[in-house]
Amino acid sequence: MKTAGSHGFYPVVDDVRWVRRFLPLGVRTIQLRIKGQSQMEARRQIHEALVIAADYDDCQMIVNDYWRETIQEGATWLHLGQEDWAGADRAAIRAAGIKLGISTHSSEELANALDARPDYVALGPIYETTLKKMPWSPQGLDRIGEWKAHCGVPLVAIGGITLERAPAVLAAGADSIAVVSDVLRAPDPDGRVRAWLDLFREATPRASLSK
């Protein structure tokens, strides 16, 4: 069952084994972002992740990038970057009834994303991140409020956000916080997930990404 505020915590994981590990802890929004694998392996992991998620009520299982496999496997959520969205079959995605999240890093990208009528918009990086080299400077907390005032859909903050920084990110207006390194690189990933879930239980309950 859905835990109050659990949809505000949005881990992004690089392997299906994390999906199997984190959903029993109470995570109800999670993104599978597979890099450096064959399409066959990506599809296998997507399929397995969807099977796992089906056992949990109200779970938002989001696939990153692989829009063809998302359609083929019957997933209901897809996250794309700007270039991925530009090159995707938009009509096929919409015809499949898939809900969509799009990454943004600039005002121009926000306008492009909103033209796509997404179900949520992601803004990042909020803080400097070591996960991957980014051509954009950290957005900062003020940008969260600016985006929230214009996007009209749930806003996901991502990039360099730790548990300790999370209250300020929520106070700035983010609906959800996407987390990668703070969980996956933690000495105790399960314990860190529980701490994030506790934070959202204590905070004002957040809506799910599908308003």
Rounded to whole angstroms, how far apart are CA atoms 79 and 136? 19
Residue 68 a catalytic site member: no
Cα within 13 Å of Cα(48), Cβ side: 15
* Vertex 28 angle, CA 22 and 30, to 5°: 65
Domain 6-202 CATH superfamily? Aldolase class I (3.20.20.70)
Check residue 94 and give its pLDDT: 95
Catalytic residue among 33, 44, 90, 99: 33
Check residue 2 and give its pLDDT: 36
pTM of the model: 0.93
Rounded to whole angstroms, how far apart are CA atoms 189 and 193? 6
Q: Give SS3 for 9.
A: strand
- Residue 130 has φ and ψ, to the nearest 5°, of -100, 0
Check residue 129 and give its pLDDT: 80
Per-residue tens of pLDDT for the chain, all 211 residues: 233 335 799 999 999 999 999 999 999 999 999 998 999 999 999 999 999 999 998 999 999 999 999 999 999 999 999 999 999 999 999 999 999 999 999 999 999 999 999 999 999 999 988 766 666 789 999 999 999 999 999 999 999 999 999 999 999 999 999 999 999 999 999 999 999 999 998 886 565 787 5
Residue 148 a catalytic site member: no
Check residue 125 and give its pLDDT: 95
Check residue 134 and give its pLDDT: 61
Catalytic residue among 103, 148, 176, 206: 103
Other C-beta atoms within 10 Å of 151: how many? Answer: 18
Q: Give SS3 for 137.
A: coil
Cite the beta strand spans of the chain per DSSP E: 9-13, 29-32, 60-64, 77-80, 99-104, 120-123, 155-158, 176-179
- The structural domains of the chain, with segments of one domain joined by +, span 6-202
Catalytic residue among 35, 132, 133, 137: 132
Check residue 211 and give its pLDDT: 57
SS3 letters across 62-122: EEECCHHHHHHCCCCEEEECHHHHHHCCHHHHHHCCCEEEEEECCHHHHHHHHHCCCCEEE
Residue 132 a catalytic site member: yes
